[in-house]
Amino acid sequence: MNSRYLGALTLIPVLVMVFLGGWPLKIIVSLLAARALFEFYSVTRKKGFRPSQVLGYILLAAYLAILISGGDAFGSLGTIIVAGTAVGFMMMVFSEGFDLSDLSITITGFIYSGVLFGYLILLDSLDNGLIMVYTVFIISWVCDTFAYYTGRFFGKHKLIERVSPKKTVEGALGGAAAGALGALAVGIATASSTGIEPLHFLAMGLLGAVLGQVGDLAASAVKRYAGEKDYPKVIPGHGGVLDRFDSIMFVAMMVFFYNQYFIR
Q: What pLDDT score does 237 carry?
A: 56
Buried b (16+ CB within 10 A) or exposed e, 215-224: bbbbbbebbe
Q: What pLDDT score does 197 carry?
A: 95
Q: What pLDDT score does 124 carry?
A: 96
d(CA 110, CA 152): 35
Q: What pLDDT score does 209 carry?
A: 96
Q: What pLDDT score does 10 carry?
A: 72
Nearest to 57 by CA among 72, 77, 38, 81: 38
Q: What pLDDT score does 95 carry?
A: 85
Q: What is the pLDDT of residues 91-123, one digit of tens each?
A: 999 988 899 999 999 999 999 999 999 999 999
* Cα dihedral 133/137/142/143 (nearest 10): 100
- In contact, 109 and 44? CB cutoff 8 Å: yes
Q: What pLDDT score does 86 carry?
A: 97
Q: What pLDDT score does 58 carry?
A: 97
Which residues in the chain come in under a pLDDT of 70? 1-8, 235-238
Contacts of 47 (CB under 8 A, 6+ apart): 225, 226, 227
Provide the residue type at 40 as one letter: F
Q: What pLDDT score does 190 carry?
A: 96
Q: Any bridge partners for residue 239, and if so which?
A: 235
